[in-house]
Structure 1
Amino acid sequence: MSQDSYLVGLIGSGIGPSLSPALHHREADRQGLRYLYRLLDLDVLGVRGRPQEAVKTLLHATRLLGFDGLNVTHPCKQAVVAHLDALSPQAAALGAVNTVVFEDGRAVGHNTDVTGFAASFARGLPDARMERIVQLGAGGAGAAVAHALLTLGAGQVVLVDAMTERAAELAASLDRHFGAGRAAHAAPSALAEHLDDADGIVHATPTGMAAHPGLPLPAHLLHPRLWVAEVVYRPLETELVRTARARGCTVLDGGGMAVFQAADAFRLFTGCEPDTVRMLAHLAELTAADGAVTRAD
């Protein structure tokens, strides 16, 4: 891909506070690129309750308008798959897409959440024990994070989701990909039991977004033997991160995932190599400046 101007966007619900536009714009500016990143918010458009219909319409419209690509976030990461022409192997394995590239007349889906979380985890929790991990959330982001954990060598990931069928389906898919017994699922009522002997917990639900404040689990279940990894990045110290730290847990905020997934998407959109150290510094500046709350894209 060789050009000096790009038009990209983000499709999702409640994305007004997202820092994706600023992260992409700042990196593009440093690289001398003309870059416009637009927000396509289902809430603003009045179609939040119809993600399948909305994402189909928005994909068609952005292709006609000459967009180079799109990021996709909650609640569209799985809904978008049916409307694409092709998927990268990783996106196909996950059944979830967070980045769409328009190229050669086709819409091709990718998933940079996997690589983004993996890079953040390796950087922020390099010595963490990973024999048994409990993960909250089995949606689009949850599928990517679980895939990343098992790729990094986790012994077993136990998926806990209010939608137990969704957790069961994801666990079965992960077992097919990584081997029997590598993934399991449990009902929220069994969370305490599974956390007793877990090494760590990963939070991958919408809790923490501006519209969904609060803790994703009872605070008393957090104990000092656990490390806690978060996908929320605004503020970097979410209620979960703050509470877990106060209870003696080692914590990883969502900032690294936000930056590394954005960097991978930037590379896909432009063909240019992003400077992740610079982007991490940009995120720190941006979050310090406003202290708003949202979830990682």
Structure 2
Amino acid sequence: MSLPTKVKIVEVSPRDGLQNEKEFIPTSVKIELINRLSAAGFPNIEAVSFVSPKWVPQMADGADVMAGIQRRPGTIYSALTPNLKGFDAALAAGMDEVVIFGAASEAFSQKNINCSIAESIARFEPVAQAAKSAGLRLRASISCSLGCPYQGEVPIGAVVDVARRMLALGCDEIDVADTIGVGTAARVEQVMRAVTEVVEPSRVAGHFHDTYGQSLANILAAMQAGISIFHASVAGLGGCPYAKGATGNVATEDVLYMLRGLDIDTGIDLDAVVDIGQWISSHIGHKSSSRAGNALAARKAA
């Protein structure tokens, strides 16, 4: 299959990228990060999550962040909402999209939320119904779609089954997520082809972690399977809690550099994203893990 001419990038650094940072990041920095990303042209920004501050203290200021940003017309601002309490907070904050999540791995589901996959998805039914009633977009993320830290290999049929269940809840978009970054191109293509037999390819996204350095190859494989939505995190922000010392999300700068080389349109300003990556890295006190970002920044400084 030929590659898409246009790709949608969902920027996840404000939520998935920052949530693992141990030092609390000032609300003003989070607001500026989202404003800069909006200005750079991202069509969809995963901005905050409305979860218990006890579990994710970094995300406790979600309402303040959303109250402080400058919204760019046409940009979708998303929030992770694990339950109705989170959904109500998302609605009050004026979110455009709410995100629910389930695992394709039974072992992961039991270990993390102490219930089966089927039970976890049933818990989201009231959130899904509330989102639809309120006219919000509903997105679902399927974690451990390409491997699990507890059970190892995850059957493709299990990923397809969760995708089917999420579709039945009314999800507008479904993310196939490689939570621990173990996926390789051949497996990614197989999984994406299987999922797109039950979900329209235009509604499926790839969310790849770069633990083993395979993310760009995996994005290319997913595009060959008809996928044209990908998640990325500026500066590669976001650790992987199941692989010690591993990098997290694929770096947005690296994805944009590859797509530019393939002449695939994203509508995003790569130069602006490089600057954002360097800026946020300086604020959180560790170097950007984006190879393209660091190289382009060095060239600019020379």
Q: Which interval holds the TM-score relative to the shorter structure?
A: 0.3 to 0.5
The TM-score, its normalising length taken from structure 2, stands at 0.33
